[in-house]
Amino acid sequence: MNMKKEVVIFLAEDDDGHSLLIKKNLKRAGVLNEIFYFRDGEEILNYIKNNREKLVNSNFSYLFLIDIRMPKVDGVEVLRQLKKDKDFHKMPVIMITTTDDPKEIALCHEIGCNNYITKPVDYDKFANAIQQLGLFLLITEIPEMII
Amino acid sequence: MKINFNDIIIPRKIILLFIFSIIILIVLITIFLNRNLSDLFFKLWTNYNQDLALSISKHCHKEIDIAQKQLEMLSIDPDFQNLSNIDKIDLTINGLPQNYEPYKRKIFSELLKRNKDFSLLFLLLPNGDNYISYPFEIQKSLKKNNLSDREYFQKVVKTKIPYISDYFIGADGQPSIVIDVPILDENNNIKCHIGGVFYLDTLNLILKQITPEEETYSMLIDRKGNLIAHNNSLFLEKKEKNNLKKHPFIKDFLANKDSYNKSKTFSYIHPVDNKEYIGSFVALSFGWGFGLSFKKEMIYKNINLQTLSILLLVILLIILVDGIGFIILRRYINTWIEKENILLESNLENEKKYQMLFDTMLNGFALHEIICDKEGTPIDYRFLEINPSFERITGLRKDDLVGKTVLEVLPKTESYWISQYGEVALKGIDKFFENYSSDLNRYYEVFAYCPKKMQFAVIISDITPRKISEIEMNKLNQELVLKNKELEQIVYVSSHDLRSPLVNIQGFSKELQHSVNSIKKLLETKEIKSKQLEDIITEDIETFLMYILKSVEKMDSLLSGLLKLSRVGRAALNLKIINMNKLINNVIKNFSFKIVENCIKINTEELPDCFGDEVLVDQVFSNLLENAMKYLANNRQGIITIGGFVEKDTSVYFIEDNGVGIGQEHYDKVFELFYRVSPRESKGEGLGLTVTKKILHMLNGNIWVESELGKGTKFLFSLPTKNKL
């Protein structure tokens, strides 16, 4: 990935509340990147399909935050499609889910997700996880942003 | 009735006779083979001998040919020509004829020096004049023949082919032969004869070296059939010499010009030891013959020895195998006798026992004969005999059964009974199976076997109670599996869907706390910035509270959904045959307001009855109809068709709409708990189809979906047509 490219976050989450919480916590952790919101798997896949050229040729690179349980097309399917896509298979994908079912985690890793975050009921843990995610974003993708 | 070994003495004799005839056969074959073998051996040996004889004779011939050529060459030797002209040489000295003998001798000694193979040379002229290097040997021979030398030579000179004229021990003690070569002029008239006494050393050496075996002879034979020499000694004593004359065929063979340089085999009595020999003879062109012979018994001695040993070995083997075989046979026969005796003893007793068993056994027993059509396909069977238990188990009376066919007694008998039994009776295979008879409404366990072609016997027991409990158990098992699956789904749902609102509640509560802290900070500054305060309260706190409340609501709806699902099937089932046409009319009536409001067209076909719980089936139809109306397309009039048909022993119903349709990837998921294809576009808990599926499983039914996106959806479900038990 080109270090100089700015990172845009694609967030696919069917629960509006979760989206808002993630956004707030990312901001609080210092992640000020632009976030694109999608409400299910179908939406995000359609968006990529319809804007492929624009996305590929832009100066941005992309990070995907994907919820697993979504209507129409679920997160695992989105992950599978992304990892099959010749334009997007190198972009980082982080799965977010409410379950810590080891089978599901193993499946996502097998397909090739870069990280897996369980939404904890404990808010502190959740915030911490989001902050960790923010840190991860800052260090690996957009070091200039710290200043 | 007991059998003992003596009773079967006849078979034993037959076996022995058989074995002996085999031995004799083998001996005959061996003798036959042996004869062929010796013929073959004899032929091979003779061929070999002939070839060898030809080859040796060629060597001999070559030597003599060379000698002849030497003599021929002499005719153009000037010295030798002088001999014939010697009379014309003027040897008169002082008018007196001089003795020319010394001169002649001088010439001969020169010639002999040049031709060392010869011990004597001579020249004969047609008029009888002769010039001989050392005359006395010839003269000896002349005396023997009572001829004057002139007469002798005149006789000799008439011969126009080179030949061997005599043999003897020469003056120098060497075995010799006389070779005579006529020299012809251009007109084929005899000019003169040149002769020489030839040392036989060379020939002797060839004979000795080539002759292979001790009991083999190589021979030289003169044209009269005299044996002149063999490899052991040259120039035999007179009595040995003459014995070959007893075999004129040899002489004839040698005299015949056609046989020159060819070989022929004769059997003859050899003069040396008076034994029978086989000889291959070759006629040499110069008049003599060559023979190579071997003792006849030599061949047979070898062959006979081999044959005898093979025969002995074969006989020994047969005796050995026969002996062991007989021991085994005897043991086998003894065992067989024992078995037969035991069987015989028990047979009578058994017969009684069997009759008792037949009458009192708990299993039903029946004997039948199969009835086939023209193609040999079994189409029916006739009862021949049945036992009391068979009557009890089937509930049919013996008098009504025996002599009748099954289709006469039980016309609805399933074809699989007849085909199964047909296989037993026609192919003779045993069968063990369980099956259902609708005529008797019972399950039977059947063992069928074939006691006789075209017949079959069955041993049956009624397993209906067991079968019923088995079916019940299977049903329970299936239910258990379903319950398990449901439970798994509930666990999954609680880990996903139930936690989801909790995440919101807790997350937004924390956010509220943040907001409260922000407000506190603002208040501490004592400088109340009402705008900021307002922002926090209206934008943040209100939003957060909204989410929290919505999550609580969601949580409540999920929990009540779970409760609803758990309530399905808790009430006792009231199973009966349901008139579906009546039921569907009621359902449609309940939805009439909505149907009219949305201008929906409902087509109802004639529906078959089914076996189930009326309340639950009503719920199934209601759920499916509600679903169909909910997902109709906005751009066209909704048409819903309800129909059904019977397939085997299940009634299948369908509710087909022309609505939005479902993608194939969602076919299975739509039945999952809380699953909704597009939650934002319609209301609902994601519970209807889950409940419907659960109800149908409880009633031994099933549900599935066929759909095409944008065209419509067809939900199909099945229920049993009647109570199976």
Residues B465-488 have pLDDT tens digits of 888 898 889 988 988 897 888 788
Q: Are residues B600 and B708 in the same domain?
A: yes
Cβ distance B506 to A119 less than 8 Å, yes or no, reads: no
B639 falls in which pLDDT band (50, 70, 90)? very high
pLDDT at position B235? 53
Q: What angle do CA A18, A66, A60 make, to 5 degrees?
A: 110
Report how far residue A114's alpha carbon sits from residue A129's, in angstroms, rounded to the nearest whole number.
15
Mean pLDDT, rounded, for B360-369: 87
CB atoms within 10 A of CB B702: 14
**Interface probe, candidates A20, A27, A128, chain B, greatest B C-beta count within 10 A:** A20
Yes or no, beta carbons of A18 and B500 under 8 Å apart: yes
Residues of chain A contacting B508 with CB distance shorter than 8 Å: 17, 21
Q: Which residue has the higher pLDDT, B141 or B369?
A: B369
Structure tokens at A1: 């990935």
Beta-carbon contacts of residue B602 (< 8 Å; ≥ 6 apart)? B588, B595, B640, B641, B642
Q: Residue A18 and residue B503: Cβ atoms within 8 Å?
A: yes
Q: In this structure, how many other beta carbons lie within 10 angstroms of the beta carbon of residue B691?
A: 22
| Residue B637: pLDDT over 80 | yes
Percent pLDDT > 70 in chain B is 82
pLDDT tens digits, residue range B156-187? 666 777 777 777 766 666 777 788 888 887 78
Residue B167 has φ and ψ, to the nearest 5°, of -150, 150
- Amino acid A147: pLDDT: 33
Domain borders along chain A are: 7-138
Strand order in the sheet with B163-169: B130-132, B118-124, B190-199, B175-184, B163-169
User: Taking CB atoms and an 8 Å limit, are A99 and B551 in contact across chains?
Assistant: no
Whether residue B382 sits in one domain with residue B514:
no
Per-residue pLDDT band for B681 (boundaries 50, 70, 90) equals: confident
Q: Which of A97-106, B80-89, B679-688 has the highest mean pLDDT?
A: A97-106
More confident call, B78 vs B552: B552
CA-based nearest residue in chain A for residue B675:
A71
- B556-614 per-position pLDDT tens digit: 888 888 888 888 867 788 889 999 999 999 999 999 998 998 889 999 999 999 999 99
Residue of B495, B508, B675 with shortest CB distance to A17: B508
Question: Closest chain B residue to A125 measured between Cα atoms?
Answer: B507
CA proximity to B671, closest of B644, B695, B643: B695
Shortest alpha-carbon distance between residue B665 and chain A (Å): 9
pTM here is 0.46
Give every strand in the sheet of A6-12, ordered side by side. Answer: A35-38, A6-12, A60-67, A93-97, A115-118
**What pLDDT is attached to residue A144?**
42
A103: Cβ contacts below 8 Å, ≥ 6 apart: none
Output phi, psi for B359, to 5 deg: -80, -30
A72, B543: Cβ pair inside 8 Å?
A: no
> How many angstroms separate the Cα of B636 from the Cα of each of B183, B267, B598, B633?
141, 125, 11, 6
Q: What is the pLDDT of residue B618?
A: 92
Arithmetic mean of pLDDT over chain B:
80
Inter-chain CB proximity B497 and A69 less than 8 Å: yes
pLDDT for res A129: 67
Does A117 contact B at CB distance below 8 Å?
Answer: no
Query: Which residues are paired to A60 by β-bridges?
Result: A6
Q: With H, G, I as helix, E, B as strand and everything else as coil, classify residue B232.
A: coil
CA–CA–CA angle B257, B262, B267 (5° rounding): 105
For residue B585, what pLDDT is reported?
A: 92
DSSP string, B462-521: E-HHHHHHHHHHHHHHHHHHHHHHHHHHHHHHIIIIIHHHHHHHHHHHHHHHHHHHHHHH
Are both B415 and B475 inside the same structural domain?
Answer: no
A126/B677 touch (CB, cutoff 8 Å), yes or no: no
Give the count of Cβ contacts less than 8 A between chain A and B: 65
Q: Which amino acid is at B548?
A: I
Strands B639-647 and B702-708: unpaired
Q: What is the mean pLDDT of residues B701-709?
A: 91
Together in a domain, B670 and B583: yes
Q: Touching check for A121 and chain B: CB below 8 Å?
A: yes
pLDDT tier, B99 (very low <50, low <70, confident <90, very high otherwise): low
Residue-level pLDDT at B651: 93
Nearest CA-CA distance, residue B550 and chain A, Å:
9
Q: How far is B697 from chain A (nearest CA, A)?
A: 26
Amino acid identity, position B164: I
Residue B524 lies in a domain: yes
Domain that holds residue B585: 572-720
Asked if residue B203 lies in contact with residue B212, where contact means CB atoms within 8 angstroms, the answer is no
The answer as to whether B413 is a domain residue is yes
Q: How far is CA B517 from the centre of its chain?
A: 92
Contact A99 B499 (CB under 8 A): yes
Q: Is A20–B500 a contact, with Cβ atoms under 8 angstroms apart?
A: no
Yes or no, beta carbons of B504 and A101 under 8 Å apart: no
CB contact under 8 A, B676 and A98: no
Whether B604 and B700 map to the same domain: the answer is yes
Considering the domain architecture, whether residues B103 and B166 belong to the same structural domain is answered as yes
A18 vs B: CB within 8 A: yes
Q: Are residues B638 and B700 in the same domain?
A: yes
The answer to whether residue B281 sits within a structural domain is no
Strand spans (E) along B639-711 = 639-647, 650-657, 702-708
A74 touches chain B (CB under 8 A): no
Please tell me whether the interface predicted TM-score (ipTM) of this complex is above 0.90: no
Give the CATH architecture of domain A7-138. Answer: 3-Layer(aba) Sandwich (3.40)
The residue ranking higher by pLDDT, B398 or B131, is B398
Does position A3 have pLDDT exceeding 50, yes or no? no
CA distance B162 to B181: 4
Q: Do B547 and A16 touch (CB under 8 A)?
A: yes
Say if residue B233's pLDDT is above 90: no
The mean per-residue pLDDT over the stretch B690-706 comes to 89
Kindly report the nearest CA distance between residue B676 and chain A, in angstroms: 6
pLDDT 10s digits, B509-538: 988 998 888 888 888 876 667 777 888 888
In a domain, B28, yes or no: no
pLDDT tops 70 at residue B354? yes
Task: Give the span between the Cα atoms of B107 and B65, in whole angstroms.
Answer: 24
Instruction: Name every residue whose Cβ is closer than 8 Å to that of residue A62 and which is 6 or more positions away in sequence.
Output: A7, A8, A9, A10, A55, A88, A91
Would the CB atoms of B503 and A98 count as touching at under 8 Å? Answer: yes
For residue A38, pLDDT over 90 is answered with yes
- Reported confidence tier of residue A105, pLDDT bands at 50, 70, 90: confident
Q: Is the pLDDT of residue B237 over 70?
A: no
pLDDT bucket at A141, cuts 50 / 70 / 90: very low
Identity (one letter) of the amino acid at B363?
N
B496 → closest Cβ in A17, A98, A120: A98
The answer to whether residue B64 is domain-embedded is: no
| Least confident stretch, A39-48, A107-116, B140-149, B406-415 | B140-149
Q: Which residue has the higher pLDDT, A127 or B369?
A: B369
For A43-47, B493-497, B622-626, which range has the lowest pLDDT when averaged over its residues? B493-497
Contact at CB, B547 and A20, closer than 8 angstroms = yes
DSSP states of B356-412 as a string? Answer: HHHHH-SSEEEEEEEEE-TTS-EEEEEEEEE-HHHHHHH---HHHHTTSBHHHH-TT
Percent of chain B beyond pLDDT 90? Answer: 13
Q: Does A8 touch chain B (CB under 8 A)?
A: no
Residues B495 and B587 in one domain: no
Listed ranges A18-22, A77-81, B186-190; the one with the highest mean pLDDT:
A77-81
For residue A118, CA distances in Å to A128, B117, B207, B495, B543 come to: 11, 128, 117, 11, 24
User: Pairing between strand B130-132 and B118-124?
Assistant: antiparallel
Tell whether B475 and B551 lie within a shared domain: yes
| Residue B724 clears pLDDT 70, i.e. is over it | no
Same domain, B627 and B685: yes
The β-bridge partners of B124 are: B130, B193
Q: Give pLDDT, residue B624.
A: 93
Pairing of strands B130-132, B163-169: unpaired
Give me A96's structure tokens.
Answer: 């977010």
What chain B residue is nearest to A123 in terms of C-alpha separation? B507
pLDDT at res. B240: 53
Contact state of B506 with A122 under an 8 Å Cβ cutoff = yes
Asked whether residue B484 falls in the same domain as residue B407, the answer is no
Which of A17, A20, A71 shows the shortest C-beta gap to B676? A71
What's the CA gap between B366 and B456, in Å, rounded?
Answer: 8
Query: CB distance from A24 to chain B under 8 Å?
Result: yes
Residue B144, C-beta contacts closer than 8 angstroms, at least 6 positions apart = none
Domain-ending residue, one of B566, B582, B599 = B566
Nearest Cα of chain B lies from the Cα of A60 at a distance, in angstroms, of 30
Which of B202, B231, B253 marks a domain boundary? B202
Residue pair B675/B691 in contact by the 8 Å Cβ criterion: no
Residue B654 belongs to some domain of the structure: yes
Identify whether residues B543 and B612 lie together within a single domain. no
Residue from B489, B498, B506 to probe the interface with A (highest A Cβ count within 10 Å): B506
- Quick check: A147 contacting B, CB < 8 Å? no
Average pLDDT over residues B449-454: 88
* Per-residue tokens: B605: 């076909």
Q: What is the pLDDT of residue B90?
A: 52
Domain count within chain B? 4
Contact A17 B680 (CB under 8 A): no
Of B499, B508, B543, the CB nearest to A121: B499
Residue that finishes a domain, picked among B519, B550, B566: B566
Q: Do B504 and A18 touch (CB under 8 A)?
A: yes
**For A21, which of B507, B676, B679 is closest by C-beta distance?**
B507
